[in-house]
A = this chain, B = another copy of it.
Amino acid sequence: MSEPSTGELHVTPPATTPTTSIDDAVAGLKFDAAGLLPAVVQDDGDGTVLMVAWMDAEAVRRTLSSGRTWFWSRSRRQYWQKGETSGHIQRVRSVTADCDRDTLLVRVEQVGPACHTGTRSCFSNPLRGDA
């Protein structure tokens, strides 16, 4: 908005959300003592649960504003964008909070495998059943 006018119409990409809406959305969430909440990432096409990772308020903001998934790595203590190095990005289709507003469900279009091990979903170790 502070950029000099070029005479061009500034079109907001459809994947993004206005800043005020983002601030409102983040303000309504409940983060744990470490400032984090779990985000369940689900394939928007067929419903496969791909992975679970952690977001703080800033990661939620980046996810909503960019239309790509951003997380906080608890082990590396830094932000990471899914697919930043592998190219296996996640295009955000919707973000929904649960009834307690302390967990997010992020539906995405997944490019390539979601798991760093090369499997489509990170959930590949059956404890029981036919999964």
Contact = CB atoms under 8 A, between A and B. Distances in A.
A115 B97 CA distance: 13
Contacts of A115: 99
Contacts of A116: 99
Contacts of A105: 49, 123, 131
Q: This chain: how many copies in the complex?
A: 2
Size category, A interface: 35 or more
Interface string A93-110: 111111111011101000
Residue of A42, A64, A98, A130 with highest tally of chain B CB at under 10 A: A98
Contacts of A98: 51-52, 122-125
A57 interface: no
